[in-house]
Amino acid sequence: AGLCHSNSYVEMIADGHHVHPTAIDVAYRCCGERLTLITDAMQAAGMPDGQYQLGEYQVNVVEGVVRTDAGGLAGSTLILKNAVFNLSNWLNMPLENAWLRASLTPAKSLGIEHELGSLAVGKKASMVALSSNSHQVEQTWANGVLVYSR
């Protein structure tokens, strides 16, 4: 229903486990700029494989995939920049367009696109700078203030 309704924003976990890349392609073809990248990340994001607590449940992370003891998916370890790169690669989409699915689209869905989601005069300058070769976060700004530098 979200793919067809022009006022719906469609959230996708672009990790290749929750939603197949081809299904993400279909979703993007249906909803275009309403496609919103999310992570559903839990505390194991960025951590090594092992056992973690998710609320009252113990979950297992194997090769970055979070599963319950019964084998069901339980959150993810996806970080948003990786979702952006996945979307760009899977859909052969320019990287700057994929970034908008993780920045401007969520801002639009919240009605705050006049403040956040892209860089423009009068907006809050919240952004990251990535290295060109390894895509590591080099610097982060929040509201125009440098808050992290590698």
At residue 103, φ and ψ (nearest 5 deg) are -130, -70
Q: Which of 15, 25, 40, 49 is catalytic?
A: 40
DSSP for 107-149 reads HHHHT-TTTSSS--TTS---EEEE-TTT--EEEEEETTEEEEE
Positive or negative: CA dihedral 123, 14, 80, 97: negative
40 annotated active-site: yes
**Residues with a known catalytic role:** 40
